Amino acid sequence: MSTPTSPQDTFVHGRLINLVRTGQAVTRPLLEQETGLGRKLVAQRVQQSIDVGLLEDGDLAPSEGGRPSRRLRFRSEAGHIFAGLIGAAEITAAVLLLDGTLIASSHEEWAAADGPEPTLAVLDGMFDKLARKTRTEPWAIGIGVAGPVDFTTGRLVDPPIMPGWDGYSVRSWFRDRYDAPVWVDNDVNLMALGEWHRGSPNDGRDLLYILLDTGIGAGLVAGGRVFRGDTGAAGDIGHVHVTDDPASVCRCGQLGCLEAVAGGWGLVRELTPRASESPLLSARLAARGTLTPEDIGRAAAAGDPLAGPAVLRSSRVVGETVANLVNFANPGVVVFGGGALRAGDAAFEMFEATIRRRVTRLAGRQLSVRRASLDFREGVVGAGLLAIENLFRPDSIGLWIEHGTPIGRASYLQRAAAG
């Protein structure tokens, strides 16, 4: 096996693999055509990719005049990605193939407010169990967190619902434990990415994901990439100003934020003192001493006279804000996701109707509004896709191949051998 030595060589090699992986060019002649490289060089690099197990020869492609050529297949099963999603009250872990197919996952309740180190230890324990079960080790790790992330450093920045995490580098924590590259992003960005790649088909159109849960956030995938903005804060719509009502003080300290009026925690604050108006909510409150956003959603789905109208109003207010964002960003698809999905059809219908009423004719003309389709897994799938996207950047993939094998997880192997 010949070894690439120069940066441009490894880049070219990475580019070839990606052309096959993304389906843009899947035969050697098409690769020559797409890259402008000679037949010999393409054949050499393809063979090298086959040797390391990333590509394989498949069936014959239909001839286009010349000799028929073999179709190349990207071996998505060649390696695995570990993905984690850290929410305010729960952690999800998953193992994915190199095309984003989820092959195993687990879920635990956990308060991220307990701080980064204990929380990451829990996620790492979940990774361990999944690794044993699936007999895999990660080529790369993707993590989503419920707060703004400085994408270049992987550090959280002022996360309002993850106190104690400000400035903490999730990437460093995992890098110290795994011989694998780690990428970290905001959870809603990853939900958008997960829905865009693996959710209901969208013809590659720009997708705006709206998370309506305890908090409220948005993620935009435009041109196939997460739109992050200048400092990684894009999509932070929870604190859009929607009212001057003096009762709407937000947990951020401002008045009239969208979250304070329409987010799950805002609804809990509003309905708790009025729980006696609802048999369902007053029973929950008596039994546990507090209400949760989920209590309110389930009560609304059951037709509760207090929770029902409150949830509808929340969907309407969020829909009004989203209509403004649709006018501004003109996405092809708006996806409604998060715990509000459990509040019944009426919540989604109000959301969609409000958007359609408020958007301009041009922005609304080809707009599709739908529910999230990955059964609450879109965030962890998106975290995996983030890792895949970065792992296969042409400038980095060539480097692995120089090392002869993809990146391994030394510490896992040691522990597995010991235990």
Residues near its own copies (CB under 8 A) are 6-9, 11-12, 32-36, 148, 157-158, 205-206, 218, 222, 227-237, 239-241, 252, 254, 320-321, 323-325, 327-332, 358, 360-363, 365-367
Nearer to its own copies, 367 or 374 (CB): 367
CB of 318 to its own copies, least distance (A): 13
CB of 133 to its own copies, least distance (A): 38
Write down the number of H helices and E strands in the chain. 16, 14
Nearer to its own copies, 100 or 147 (CB): 147
Cβ neighbors of 52 (< 8 A, separation 6 or more) are 400, 401, 404, 405, 406
- Is residue 220 within 8 Å of 232, Cβ to Cβ? no
Which H helix or E strand runs over 218?
Answer: strand 216-222
Total residue length of the chain: 419
Nearer to its own copies, 29 or 115 (CB): 29
Each as own residue / partner, the long-range contacts of residues 227-232 (CB below 8 Å, 24 or more positions apart, any chain) are 228/151, 228/185, 228/189, 231/148, 231/150, 231/157, 232/148, 232/149, 232/150, 232/151, 232/157, 232/185, 232/186
Nearer to its own copies, 90 or 320 (CB): 320
CB of 6 to its own copies, least distance (A): 8
CB of 11 to its own copies, least distance (A): 6
User: How distant is the alpha carbon of residue 216 from its chain centre?
Assistant: 15
**In this structure, what token pair is assigned to residue 284?**
């929950």
CB of 301 to its own copies, least distance (A): 29
- Is residue 83 within 8 Å of 143, Cβ to Cβ? yes
Return the closest-CA partner of residue 15 out of 397, 405, 404.
397
CB of 258 to its own copies, least distance (A): 9
CB of 354 to its own copies, least distance (A): 10
Nearer to its own copies, 45 or 171 (CB): 45
- Rounded-to-integer distance, Cα 86 and Cα 367, Å: 31
Nearer to its own copies, 176 or 230 (CB): 230
User: How distant is the alpha carbon of residue 154 from its chain centre?
Assistant: 15
Nearer to its own copies, 99 or 320 (CB): 320
CB of 36 to its own copies, least distance (A): 3
Nearer to its own copies, 130 or 350 (CB): 350
What are 225's strand-pairing partners?
222
What are 216's strand-pairing partners?
212
Q: What beta strand segments (E) does 291-410 contain?
A: 333-337, 368-371
